[in-house]
Every structure is written in C-alpha cells, then in structure tokens.
Structure 1
Amino acid sequence: MSTENKKDILRGGQFLVKETKCEDVFTPEDFNEEQKMMKDSVKEFVDREIWPKKEEFENKNYDLTEKVMRKAGELGFLGIAVPEEYDGLGMGFVSTMLVCDYISGATGSIATAFGAHTGIGTMPITLYGNDEQKKKYVPKLATGEWFGAYCLTEPGAGSDANSGKTKAVLSDDGKYYSISGQKMWISNAGFANVFIVFARIEDDKNITGFIVENDKENGISFGEEEKKLGIHSSSTRQVFFNETKVPVENMLSERGNGFKIAMNALNVGRIKLAAACLDAQRRVTNSAVKYANDRVQFKTPIANFGAIKYKLAEMATSAYAGESASYRAAKNVEDRIAIRQAEGSSHAEAELKGVEEYAIECSILKVACSEDIQNCSDEGIQVYGGMGFSADTPMESAWRDARISRIYEGTNEINRMLAVGMLVKKAMKGHVDLLGPAQAVADELTGIPSFDKPDYSELFAEEKEMVANLKKVFLMVAGSAVQKFGPDLEEHQQLLLAASDILIEVYMAESTILRTEKNAKRNGEESQKEQIAMSKLYLYNAVDIVTQKAKEGIVSFATGDEQRMMLMGLKRFTKYQNMSNVVALRNTIAEKLTSENEYCF
C-alpha cells in the first residue's frame, strides 16, 4: 500500500478533528461479489436452520445450539477470520463482520455462542498462540470439530478483570501449572472442548492466559445451567478448577500477559457485538412492519397511523445508522491491518494492532448498537400491542435477548468512559491532536461570529456543517474538563458519561451522512430519498442529545462567566438554520417500509 494511501486512512479517534470525505468511507453498498455471496449464504443458513426454530431456542434446547454451531462450522462460518493454513477461510475484517452480522439476528442464543466461540474462544490462540498451539487447536476450532470458551469473569472480578483470584502454581518439576479457582458466566461452557483461562502466578501484578482442555478427570467441574432473562439456549455455567494440571507449553503468550490478551480480545469483541446487533434490528423491524400492515383497527391498517409511522421510522433509522458506522469502522480496521502487513508485521501482530488502533470506535459502536437494538425491540413490542407481550410473537424474545448486549464485552457505562479516556490518552501521546482544535474552539467562543450567509446548495452541506459544530461542542466540553481536572478527570464519571454520549452521536451521525452522500453521488439523489430522510432524522435526534448532554456536562463543572460563555457557545454550535420537517422525514421513511413490507435499505 502506498504512502499516499496511508495518509488517507485516519487513525483511531481522528474522526473528531479531521474531515472525512464520503469517498473515503466503506458502506454496505460496497460489498464485493464474494462478500455478497457470503451474505446470501449466511442468510439462507439462518432462515433454514435458526429462524424457524425460535421456539425451541426459547425452551432451552442447548443441544440444538451445539448442533447448529457444528453445521456452521461445516459451512466454514466459524473460520472466516482464521488463516487458511489453520483450515480457516482467511477472509478480511469486513467479511468477518458481515458473517457475524447476519448469523446473529435470529436469536441471541446463537449470536452469543457464535461470538464466544469465534471471538474470545478462538481468536486468543490465533493471535497470541505459538506455532505449536495454533497447529494443535485452531484447525479444530475453525471447523467446528471443537468449541471454545473464555474463562475470565469471577465472582469478584467483572469489570475489574485483572483482580481475579484464580491461581496457577508451577509444579516442582516445572512441567505443568496447577490451576485452582472459580469462573462464572462462561458462555459455551456446557459443550466447550477447550477453555481460555486466566489465572495469577504467585503475586504477579497481571494475570496470565492458559489453554486448558476440558477434562472432567482433571479437576474441572461445572455449575448448573444459569437461569437467565434471555439467550435461553446459550449454555452459561460456572466452571470450577481444582488443581487442574495444565502443561507449561499451554501458557498463552508470556507470563503476565493475560490482561493485555483480555483487553485486546474485548476490543474485537466490542465491534463484533455491534455487528451482531444489526440483523437483529432488521428482523425486528421487518416483523413490526409486517404486523403493522396486517393489523387493522378502526377499519385501517395501523401502519397508516402517525404514531406507528413514528416508531417504524425511528427503528429503521437506528438500524441504518448502525450499519453505516459499523462497516465504516470495519474497513478502517481492515485497511490498517493491510498497512501493518505491508510493513512486515505478521498476520497476528497486524490484526492486533489494527483493531487496537480503533479501540475508541469499537467502544462507541458497542454502546450505540446495543442500545439501539434494545430500543428497537422495545418499540417492536409496542407496535404489536398486547400481542407483543406474548411469547408467541418474536418481539418478546428479541427484547429479552437484546438486554445482555449492554452488559457483556464491558458494560456500556465502562465503554462510555473508556471511549473518552482512550481519546485523551491518544492526545497525550500525540496520536490525535485535540489541543490545537480545542484551543481554536475556545478562541471562537470569544471571537465575533460570522454573519456571512452560508451556501447550502449541495446535498448535506448544512448537515455536515452541523456535524462539524457538534465536534466543537465535544472539544469545548472535554477540553475545558481536561484543563480543569487533569489526571483526576477519570474520577468524574457522570461528566465522562455525558461527554461520551456527545462523541457517540458525532460518530454515528457523521457515518450515516457520509454513507448516504456517497451513494447519492454514484446513484443519484432520487435513489436515496429515504436514506437522505434517515440521515437527516438521525442528525435531528443527535443534536437534541448533544445539547442535553453538553448542558449537563457544562453546569457540572463550570460556574459564573465561564458557564455563561460555554452555554452561549453551545447554543451557537447547535443552531440548526434550515431544520427539516421531522414529521415529514419520518413519514417518508415509514411509507417506504410499509410499501416494501420490510426493512429495505
């Protein structure tokens, strides 16, 4: 890849301070033929093997989950990201996102089993294992002959993952470690053949990773299947290790490197979780649209009522925004991996660094998409009315399955604070220039505003200016907060939560607008009529959220003249000159949905 192309690819977090051209973003409309075929293949598999069996999945049929996962392995879906030399397909990061997207939508049970196996079950060995470990384990995991699970969480170690108490003691002859401890909330525990286990050696500061084969004769035992709100057929058990002997050659990476493995696994898991929420939103929206068209009240389909149009439009818009942002970030990761490999990095090192570069975007997407599927399924229940509360309709299980997405891969609260924290750290390292743009915003606040009439003749000219102003809002709030609190900023969690919501809305709104602008340029604006409406609707909502969160942040730490100036700046930066008729936007989107009788974007 040329040096010139490298400059075109923004580093993680730079979206906040640099302009992105629509031509430089990847969209779902850019899938190549191979990706389109893979998408169709996965959808056909889900519609045949998973969607018709939703009732069985709700009745805790763990054997069915294992059976479906084994079939997925036979078709190659479990090995998309695995290099060909280990019996995988060796496809790019966008393709791995695509498969995760479309295999996860029908039920959260398969979404969880798939994510736990391909991500945190297989990936640590693929990326951190030595040659012998990869050759021994990865081919079996890639083909579905074996299944993997990830043992990190303990009763006293959740978000604080490095505080685990599980111990690993080296034998006197130095040939094996004896692992003892308790792990909980272990997905795939009931049928896993191999565990990635994290334990502490002696009094090491950081935990260490181990590859542990499931052998009940080797001190491994299990709790009963957990009784859960959702994901009923996802096997979730406690796993107990009682002096389980693990050969020293099964240490994963180096001693004390477990925390790093865990954190990097979570980065990948977060962006993949975002993808796993997308088809779920499409399917919920499809069901809601069909029901709204079929359900007649007061002698007319309820799809004709404005209240229902409101819900359908918002559901579709959040799905479209999630797609836009997720695949934008996925291609950024893929391009960064390619750059690393061109510079001589191994596949494993390139992928680790490629994903780590966009850890901020991974956290943003995890939060946004997990909350969107929760809201989407909640509105889906409402469209169904009383029937939505019944387990005989798909909405009830979709709502329950969606709830876990806000918890695993790091709670949304943790991810919100991480996004801002990582951005500040990148700025301190010089990877993202926040200081210069933040100072420019501060100078603008004390300067005389321009009264020139802007030219909004081009598509999205005003909307892109508004996104740029929302970025100024973040820089104003976060810049002042960093200046005031310095390294103590992390102690002000509610302020960080407010700032992160601004950051999230900026990234999601910009991604949505850039996708639509790109497609309008190549296919004509008329072909993107509804997508233009969704982009404007998303921005309309984003401005409201940013205004509320920025005000909350400002009044939490600024007083007197500083507070008044920042609130005036907020009013200036969130002023929408030619706001669209938001009711008309929603009607345009909803009428397209009901005419096609499905999510059709």
Structure 2
Amino acid sequence: METQLEKEILRGGQFLVKETKCEDIFTPEDFSEEQKMMRDSVIEFNDREIIPHRDRFEAKDYALTEEVMRKAGDMGFLGVSVPEEYGGLGMGFVSTMIVCEYISSGTGSFSTAFGAHTGIGTMPITLYGTEEQKQKYVPRLATGEWFGAYALTEPGAGSDANSGKTIATLSEDGKSYKINGQKMWISNAGFCQMFIVFARIENDKNITCFIIEKDLNNGITLGEEEHKLGIHASSTRQVFFSDTVVPAENMLAGRGEGFKIAMNALNIGRIKLAAACLDSQRRVTTTAVQYANERKQFNTPISDFGAIKLKLAEMATNCYAGESASYRAAKNIEDRIAMREASGNSHQEAELKGVEEYAIECSILKVAVSEDIQHCADEGIQIFGGMGFSKDTPMEAAWRDARIARIYEGTNEINRMLSVGMLVKKAMKGHVDLLGPAQAVADELMGIPSFETPDYSELFAEEKEMVAKLKKVFLMVAGAAVQKFGPDLDGQQQLLLAASDILIEIYMAESTLLRTEKNAKRFGEASQEIQIAMAKLYLYNAVSIVEKNGKESIISFAEGDEQRMMLMGLKRFVKYTNYPDIVDLRKAIAEKVKGENKYPF
C-alpha cells in the first residue's frame, strides 16, 4: 500500500486543471492475481447460474432471482466490500467494482437485485450504523441469509429525494417511532427481509433514515409487482407503511441525517452502475459480431460491409473507454480511502470521504457508461436487423434492460447538472483551482496564437495537446458563465447540460488515452495498435461533441464582441493539426473485432 500512496493522487475534479501521468492511473491490465481470480470466479458463476436461465428471468421468475442471490451469497459475492468482522471478504473498492461488473452482465434483472442489495441495501448500515446495528444486520446481509431493499422514492419525491412525505412519529415513552407513508419502485421488495427507509420527523428540514425489518403484521403492505419495460425478474413493488413501529435504536446515523446518507449511497451506486454496464457492452458486442460474421447478404457476411464495421468499431471503442475511466476512478477512490485510514480515520469515515471526494467522477461515469450501453444494445438490434426486434434473440431484452440505467441512481439529466455544480462548489471551497486556469484561458483568448509547428513525434503528443485544449473550452465556457450568472447558474439548466457534456468527454477521452499510453510503454506500441486506434477514435468523437456543446453554450449567454472572441477561441481549441483518418481507424478496430469473433480487448 505504501508504494501505491507514493504517487500523486489528484482530488476529485482536479483532472480538469492538473496533468495526470499515465503511470499514475490504474487500468484493467493492472489487476492483481487475487482480482483476476475473483473476476474469473464471477464470470464462471454468471455463465453457470444466470446466462442459461435468461428465459426464466424474462418470464418474471422472482423465485429464481432469490435463489441465485442466495447462491451469490454462498460464494461470498454479496459481502465483497463488507469488513471481515461482519462476515464479508473485506476487499478493496476495485475488487467490489470487478464483482459488480461481471456479475451484472447476465440480465438486468439480476444486476438490479444484486446492486440494490449489496449497495444501497447493505452499505448504509456498514458505513453509518452503530456497532450494535452492524453486528445485528450486516453479517446476515453479507452472507445472503437476509436481503435488503432501499425505500427512498415516493410518488411525489423522485429526483427531489428530500421532499418525501413519509412521516416518523416518536412514541410518548421515546422508545419507538411509528412510520406512515408510501414508497415506490422498491427493488427486492418482494423477497427482502429488511428495508432502509427514509422518513421525516415533525417538520425537520431533512429526512431521517431507519432500519425496518419486514414484518407484514407490523403495518407493512406490499403492492403488486410492477409491470416494467425491462428488468423483468427484478421484484419491484410499492411499499405502504401504516403505523409501522420501529425501535428508536433502529435510527441510522442521527436525526435529519437521512438526506446525507441517501446522497452518499447514490455516489457509490453511480460508479458501480457504470461498472455494471461494462461487461454487458462486451457481451452485446460479442453477440453482434458473431451474428454479423454468420449472417450473409448478397453472398457476403454482413461484417464485411462498411456500415456494419462502423457500428462494431464504435461499440468496441465506447466499451474500452468506459473500462478505462471506470477503473481510473475506482482506484483513485481506493487510494483515497487508504490515505484516510493511514491518517487515522475509521474504515467507515475513510470510505465515506473517499467516495465523496470523487462524486464528480461518479456522476460522469454514470452518465457516460449508461448511455453507451443503451447505444451499444441499440446498434446490436440494428446489426441483427428484423431478428433483433424479436424476443427470440438476446438483443431485444438487452435493449430493454439497458434503458433503466439512464434513470436510476439519479437521472442522467440530474447527474449532468450535479457534475458541473459540484465542480463549481469545489472551486468555491478551494479544493479545485478553477479561477486561475479560467483566467489564463481568458488571457490567452486576448493574445496572439502561436504559429510554431509543434513536435508530435511521441505517441499521443497531439492527442494529449488536444485534451488540454478541450479543458480550455470548458474553462472558457464555465468561467464566463459563472461570471455572468453567479449564484443563479443553477437555474441555467440547458447551459449546465451542455457544459457537463464537455466535462464528460474530457474525462472519458483522457482516461482512454492514459490507459493506452501506459500499456504501450510497458507492452510495446505494436501490441497496442488497435487500442491506439480506439483512443484516437474516441477523442475525435469527443472533440465533435465538445465543439457542438461549446458553441451552444457560448451563443446562449454571450453577445457581441465577447461572443465572437469566444467562438474564435472555440474554433482554435477544437482544431487538429493533423486530423486522424477516422474511416481507416474504424476499419482497423472492426477487423480486429471481426477476426476475434468477440470483444477482444
């Protein structure tokens, strides 16, 4: 661990204003032998217990979901992140990401049940519970003896989670609370034994969190199973509480601290949701190329057609980028936790603060990877053609299951606005210096651009310069927007959405370049030829997205000379000296995928 902590670990959001060396990031190629063994064990479990039973999951076989969850508990997968003293494996954050990633690719149904239990069902007690609460509940949850559910959302409280109407009333003797209210979209409600429930005490500003055991004789009523677009074997019900008595000692953390618990649970859930989408992308890409290699039209495998190669190349590239960014952030979180523990923080405090530090990156990853899996599944259907629209092929279910990922753990719209808002708040607290770099970009716009021919002899020299310029676009737009709107920036939602897309593409493109550069240095450039192509392709696509959103942002709030100057700056910042041959890059990537007959990276 000491070796890991010798490198500079950037704070959350600092990727925007500080250069990251490729040697300082973690990549999937850095997995330890223990992590590889865990990955292989989860893949074997997935292939044995989940994939062969897709039809039963699609037929809403909730008993099967519960049965496989218990088997996952027997394997230790439910307790990967739980400390050993509470019946778990006590593994690091990266290992928890690996399990979440590979166990989630069988069906969205199992992914949702697993994530709801291990994340928002178990984690609040592990991180906020008293010793008595942890000893009572966590071992049962870690082993699969009990399953947990998370009851936050209400009919009138979705994205505005703190506006819930569920009420907690203290008894006259102060020994218990009565809970009254309605919760909806509660995953695992049908077979769980315990709820994490959020309710308001009197007229408190913030909600409070309680651990409530599921006793149907204690005023708890379940609605019918919801009829959903996807995740069919995920038990999803409304839960009604009518004078449900909960002991006062089952309050989690303190009074009014429920909103804090909810937000921190969502931070962890967001990065784990990104992980849960990754292996699904691999499997969809593999299924698509296998069909494309077999399907012939005009006496030619459709994988030979340029239109199909384009799709395969983009599907593979986006997955590779998602892997790169997700494990970069996961290791940052793990290292930050280790630093805090080394400085004397408890494991609870270290993990809470470690994840909270990278809340911006968690939101970025949630948005980017959830949209990539949806696009991947959509293109998978397109490659299958008419057959892709049939329930007889796996693409149809993959597309339906992927759709929910853009909604839960906070909608992508909320997460986009959060990422920019949190960055601005970090800057105001002095955790990220945005003012200095933003002013430097403003000064640069007033200066005369350099006409020297740069030296691009090293790998990714121009690409890294391009990423630096994309950061200038964000600083230019965000700096001017903050100056213009000040505290009213939160009300400029369309501007925030555009700015967030710039921020997202910077992080994803830079992560992809850094991973590839690191591997090229240690394994040789020849071995990374296609990965280099993917990094260049992703960056090219990112530049186009940044240019579009930068222009939209500028013309939305700037006028006259300021607008003209900023648009000129944007044009300068998104211009390549040597444009990559995108068609050839896609061909090379697609040929690799086609030749391997799977996602091979």
Q: Same fold by TM (over 0.5)?
A: yes
* Corresponding position: 1:241 with 2:241: yes
TM-aligned CA deviation for residue 348 of structure 1: 0.7
Instruction: State the alpha-carbon separation in 2 of the partners of residues 328 and 108 from structure 1.
Output: 24
Task: Say whether the 8 Å CA contact 1:81–1:88 is kept in structure 2.
Answer: yes
User: 2:46: which partner in 1?
Assistant: 46
TM-aligned CA deviation for residue 3 of structure 1: 11
Task: Say whether the 8 Å CA contact 1:185–1:236 is kept in structure 2.
Answer: yes
Instruction: State the alpha-carbon separation in 2 of the partners of residues 583 and 48 from structure 1.
Output: 39
User: 1:460: which partner in 2?
Assistant: 460
TM-aligned CA deviation for residue 56 of structure 1: 1.0
Structural mapping, 1:300-339, within 5 Å: 300-339=300-339
Residue 216 of structure 1 aligns to a residue in which SS? coil
Instruction: State the alpha-carbon separation in 1 of the partners of residues 6 and 439 from structure 2.
Output: 27
Residues 16-73 of structure 1 show CA distances to partners (whole Å, capped at 9, x for unaligned) of: 0000000000000000000000000000000011111111111111111111111000
Instruction: State the alpha-carbon separation in 2 of the partners of residues 72 and 7 from structure 1.
Output: 36
Task: Say whether the 8 Å CA contact 2:285–2:312 is kept in structure 1.
Answer: yes
Instruction: State the alpha-carbon separation in 2 of the partners of residues 443 and 176 from structure 1.
Output: 62
TM-aligned CA deviation for residue 4 of structure 1: 11
User: 2:262: which partner in 1?
Assistant: 262
User: 1:194: which partner in 2?
Assistant: 194
User: 1:184: which partner in 2?
Assistant: 184
User: 1:413: which partner in 2?
Assistant: 413
User: 2:359: which partner in 1?
Assistant: 359
User: 1:532: which partner in 2?
Assistant: 532
Instruction: State the alpha-carbon separation in 1 of the partners of residues 97 and 388 from structure 2.
Output: 30
* Corresponding position: 1:123 with 2:123: yes
User: 1:437: which partner in 2?
Assistant: 437
User: 1:96: which partner in 2?
Assistant: 96
TM-aligned CA deviation for residue 2 of structure 1: 6.5
Tell me which amino acid in the other structure corresponds to 2:493: Q
Structural mapping, 1:544-555, within 5 Å: 544-555=544-555
User: 1:30: which partner in 2?
Assistant: 30
Structural mapping, 1:454-533, within 5 Å: 454-533=454-533
TM-aligned CA deviation for residue 6 of structure 1: 6.3
Structural mapping, 1:147-158, within 5 Å: 147-158=147-158
Instruction: State the alpha-carbon separation in 1 of the partners of residues 569 and 7 from structure 2.
Output: 32
Instruction: State the alpha-carbon separation in 1 of the partners of residues 193 and 327 from structure 2.
Output: 32
* Corresponding position: 1:569 with 2:569: yes
Instruction: State the alpha-carbon separation in 1 of the partners of residues 193 and 423 from structure 2.
Output: 38
Instruction: State the alpha-carbon separation in 2 of the partners of residues 106 and 486 from structure 1.
Output: 46
Tell me which amino acid in the other structure corresponds to 2:438: A
Instruction: State the alpha-carbon separation in 1 of the partners of residues 170 and 204 from structure 2.
Output: 13
Task: Say whether the 8 Å CA contact 2:4–2:335 is kept in structure 1.
Answer: no
Tell me which amino acid in the other structure corresponds to 2:206: N
User: 1:84: which partner in 2?
Assistant: 84
Task: Say whether the 8 Å CA contact 1:176–1:247 is kept in structure 2.
Answer: yes
User: 1:253: which partner in 2?
Assistant: 253
Task: Say whether the 8 Å CA contact 1:288–1:383 is kept in structure 2.
Answer: yes
Residue 198 of structure 2 aligns to a residue in which SS? strand
Residues 411-444 of structure 1 show CA distances to partners (whole Å, capped at 9, x for unaligned) of: 0000000000000000000000000000000000
User: 1:402: which partner in 2?
Assistant: 402
Instruction: State the alpha-carbon separation in 1 of the partners of residues 375 and 360 from structure 2.
Output: 23
TM-aligned CA deviation for residue 452 of structure 1: 1.2
Residues 190-213 of structure 1 show CA distances to partners (whole Å, capped at 9, x for unaligned) of: 001000000001111110000000
Q: How large is the RMSD of aligned CA atoms in angstroms?
A: 0.9
Residue 122 of structure 2 aligns to a residue in which SS? helix
Residue 454 of structure 2 aligns to a residue in which SS? coil
Aligned residues: 601
TM-aligned CA deviation for residue 174 of structure 1: 1.1
Instruction: State the alpha-carbon separation in 2 of the partners of residues 264 and 40 from structure 1.
Output: 30
User: 2:208: which partner in 1?
Assistant: 208
Tell me which amino acid in the other structure corresponds to 1:369: V
TM-aligned CA deviation for residue 173 of structure 1: 1.1
Residue 197 of structure 2 aligns to a residue in which SS? strand
User: 2:64: which partner in 1?
Assistant: 64
* Corresponding position: 1:343 with 2:343: yes
Residue 329 of structure 1 aligns to a residue in which SS? helix
Task: Say whether the 8 Å CA contact 1:6–1:339 is kept in structure 2.
Answer: no
Residue 199 of structure 1 aligns to a residue in which SS? strand
Residue 12 of structure 2 aligns to a residue in which SS? coil
Unaligned runs of 5+ residues in structure 1 are: none
Instruction: State the alpha-carbon separation in 1 of the partners of residues 48 and 528 from structure 2.
Output: 32
The normalised TM-score by structure 1 is 0.99
Residue 15 of structure 2 aligns to a residue in which SS? helix
Instruction: State the alpha-carbon separation in 2 of the partners of residues 595 and 82 from structure 1.
Output: 41
Residues 371-419 of structure 1 show CA distances to partners (whole Å, capped at 9, x for unaligned) of: 0000000000000000000000010000000000000000000000000
* Corresponding position: 1:16 with 2:16: yes
Instruction: State the alpha-carbon separation in 1 of the partners of residues 176 and 342 from structure 2.
Output: 39
User: 2:141: which partner in 1?
Assistant: 141
Residues 484-518 of structure 1 show CA distances to partners (whole Å, capped at 9, x for unaligned) of: 00000000000000000000000000000000000
Tell me which amino acid in the other structure corresponds to 1:268: I
Tell me which amino acid in the other structure corresponds to 2:282: R
Tell me which amino acid in the other structure corresponds to 2:149: A
Task: Say whether the 8 Å CA contact 2:169–2:178 is kept in structure 1.
Answer: yes
Instruction: State the alpha-carbon separation in 2 of the partners of residues 350 and 529 from structure 1.
Output: 40
Residue 8 of structure 1 aligns to a residue in which SS? coil
Tell me which amino acid in the other structure corresponds to 1:385: G
Tell me which amino acid in the other structure corresponds to 2:474: F
Instruction: State the alpha-carbon separation in 2 of the partners of residues 497 and 428 from structure 1.
Output: 20
User: 2:424: which partner in 1?
Assistant: 424
Tell me which amino acid in the other structure corresponds to 2:364: I
User: 1:165: which partner in 2?
Assistant: 165
Task: Say whether the 8 Å CA contact 2:7–2:24 is kept in structure 1.
Answer: no
Tell me which amino acid in the other structure corresponds to 1:489: L
Instruction: State the alpha-carbon separation in 2 of the partners of residues 220 and 381 from structure 1.
Output: 42
Tell me which amino acid in the other structure corresponds to 2:287: S
Task: Say whether the 8 Å CA contact 2:533–2:588 is kept in structure 1.
Answer: yes
TM-aligned CA deviation for residue 119 of structure 1: 0.3
Unaligned runs of 5+ residues in structure 2 are: none
TM-aligned CA deviation for residue 175 of structure 1: 1.0
Task: Say whether the 8 Å CA contact 1:498–1:552 is kept in structure 2.
Answer: yes
Tell me which amino acid in the other structure corresponds to 1:66: E
Task: Say whether the 8 Å CA contact 1:363–1:415 is kept in structure 2.
Answer: yes
Instruction: State the alpha-carbon separation in 1 of the partners of residues 445 and 526 from structure 2.
Output: 39
Instruction: State the alpha-carbon separation in 1 of the partners of residues 224 and 3 from structure 2.
Output: 55
Structural mapping, 1:362-377, within 5 Å: 362-377=362-377
Instruction: State the alpha-carbon separation in 1 of the partners of residues 103 and 487 from structure 2.
Output: 42
Task: Say whether the 8 Å CA contact 2:43–2:102 is kept in structure 1.
Answer: yes
* Corresponding position: 1:581 with 2:581: yes
Task: Say whether the 8 Å CA contact 1:72–1:144 is kept in structure 2.
Answer: yes
TM-aligned CA deviation for residue 469 of structure 1: 0.2
Instruction: State the alpha-carbon separation in 2 of the partners of residues 392 and 160 from structure 1.
Output: 39
Task: Say whether the 8 Å CA contact 2:5–2:335 is kept in structure 1.
Answer: no
TM-aligned CA deviation for residue 7 of structure 1: 6.6
Instruction: State the alpha-carbon separation in 1 of the partners of residues 155 and 372 from structure 2.
Output: 29
Instruction: State the alpha-carbon separation in 2 of the partners of residues 441 and 7 from structure 1.
Output: 28
Instruction: State the alpha-carbon separation in 1 of the partners of residues 4 and 386 from structure 2.
Output: 58
